[in-house]
Amino acid sequence: WDWRVLWFLGRTKMANNEAAAAQKHFDQVYFDLPGELAPKLALGLAAELAGSLDVAIKMYDLVSRTDPGFVSAAFGLSRCLLAKGDRSGAVKALDRVAQSSGLYLRSRIDATRMLVRYDLQPPGSIDLAQASALAESLALDGMNRFRLSSQILSAALDLLTSGKLQPNEQVKILGRPLKEVQLRFGLEESFRSMARLLTGDARIDLVDRANAVRPRTFV
């Protein structure tokens, strides 16, 4: 008997995409070494890949709370909560990533994108405003900034034009009121800004998208 045998068996199963089998091995290592964080993190990842989200959430949460330095646990917790439809919880999980971490910026960008995703459920005006505030607080340059801005504006515009949200002058999205015309101008500007940084077909495609989204005017 040696826990290292189970540990390497689990890693081998993971390498062979046998997450459910790996989960059993890591669960036994966790039982044998209850005070160690590595088995908990490994069990969380195996459980996530095997579809056992409740187990994964428990392990990721335990690791992240015990040692915030394990930022992979915060990202894993966020993924699992989002998969269960808990957008707010997923965003809060990413708040655990310390500002001193090298993945802090990545956590802020991921949180922003989660707030405007509506493959699970449409975001509300509060989600959009929060995503906007997050994006404006980030020190992004060039294509990354314009791409993130276009995602937020596109989501807001889609929700307005589909009738899932109503115009609201009080809600600001990247400095613009939540109104169709203003969002169209903002999205057009983002597309054209990205186009200026590209060449060839990619640039042409963005110009076409900018022209398509631009509101009709007399000019």
Q: State the number of CA atoms in the 13 A half-sphere of 58 facing the CB.
A: 9
pTM exceeds cut of 0.85 = yes
Quote the pLDDT of residue 201: 96
Q: Is the pLDDT of residue 11 over 70?
A: yes
State the Cα–Cα distance between residues 165 and 204, nearest whole angstrom: 31
Q: Which two tokens stand for residue 105?
A: 């910026």
Contact (CB, 8 A) for 159 and 184: no
CB proximity list for 191: less than 8 A, separation 6 or greater: 150, 206, 207, 209, 210, 213
CB proximity list for 146: less than 8 A, separation 6 or greater: 190, 193, 194, 197
Percent of the chain with pLDDT strictly greater than 70: 98
Contact (CB, 8 A) for 85 and 72: no
In the chain, the amino acid numbered 71 is V
CA 90, 55, 119, 160 dihedral sign is negative
Quote the pLDDT of residue 153: 97
When pLDDT is averaged across residues 183-202 and rounded to a whole number, the result is 96
State the Cα–Cα distance between residues 10 and 179, nearest whole angstrom: 53
* Greatest extent of the chain over all pairs of C-alpha atoms, in Å: 80
State the Cα–Cα distance between residues 35 and 39, nearest whole angstrom: 9
When pLDDT is averaged across residues 138-158 and rounded to a whole number, the result is 95
Q: Is the pLDDT of residue 83 over 90?
A: yes
Quote the pLDDT of residue 2: 86
State the Cα–Cα distance between residues 211 and 209, nearest whole angstrom: 5
Percent of the chain with pLDDT strictly greater than 90: 93
State the Cα–Cα distance between residues 188 and 206, nearest whole angstrom: 9
Secondary structure of residue 194 in the 3-state scheme: helix
